[in-house]
Amino acid sequence: MNLSIFRYTMPSGKTLDYGKDNMDVYTFARKLSENYMAKASEREKLRVSFSDRVLQIFEAKEICVQTFQELTLLSRNIFYLLRKQDYRPSFETVIALCAGLDLDIIITAELLGKAGYAFDGSEKHNAYEAAITQFRGYPIHVRNEFLRELKIAGIKLLGEKDSE
C-alpha cells in the first residue's frame, strides 16, 4: 500500500500521486525550485524603490532639474529629494510628478504604490485620476485648470505652491 503524501491534478484531469519514496516528487520539486530561481531576477525588478523608479523615468525621459521644474511646477529641492531613498513625497507631489511628466495611469499607480499611496475612489482622488487619464499629452497647467474648475473641497492644484 502506497500512502500518497502529495496529489496533484493536472489541467488535463490526470491525477499524479507522489508517494513517500517516489523519486518523481523530488524531480518535481527540483523543477519548481529551478523555475523559482530562474525568475528571481524578475521578482527583483518589482522591488525597485520609489526613488530608483523615479530615477529610471528621469533617465528614460532625459529629465534634468530645469525641465523637471518647468513640467511639474515642483521645485529644484523636490527634484533632489525625489532621488533620496528615505524621502516619502506627498500624494499630491506624486500626482504632480506624473501629470507633469505625462506618465500613464499604470506608472502613476505604480509610483503611488511605491510611495505608500493609492487612489481611494473619493471624489478628490477621482479628479486627480481624471487629470492623469483624460489629459494625456497636455501640460500640467491645463490639468490644473481642470482641477480648479471642478471646485472640489480639499483638492490642491498640482505643483510646488500647493504640494508638500
User: Are 82 and 117 in a shared domain?
Assistant: yes
Number of domains composing the chain: 2
What is the reported pLDDT for 5? Answer: 60
59-85 b/e (C-beta count within 10 Å ≥ 16 → b)? eeeebeeeebbebbbbbeebbebbeee
User: Are 68 and 128 in a shared domain?
Assistant: yes
User: Are 86 and 116 in a shared domain?
Assistant: yes
User: Are 33 and 82 in a shared domain?
Assistant: no
pLDDT digits over 120-144, tens only? 999 999 999 999 999 999 999 999 9
Q: State the cell numbers at 151.
A: 471646485
Q: State the cell numbers at 141.
A: 497647467
SS (H, E, C) 27-47: HHHHHHHHHHHHCHHHHHHHC
Domain of 148 in residue numbering reads as 48-162
| pTM (predicted TM-score) | 0.72
Residue among 89, 77, 100 at smallest CA distance from 158:
100
pLDDT digits over 9-67, tens only? 767 777 766 665 566 666 777 777 777 777 666 566 567 899 999 999 999 999 999 99
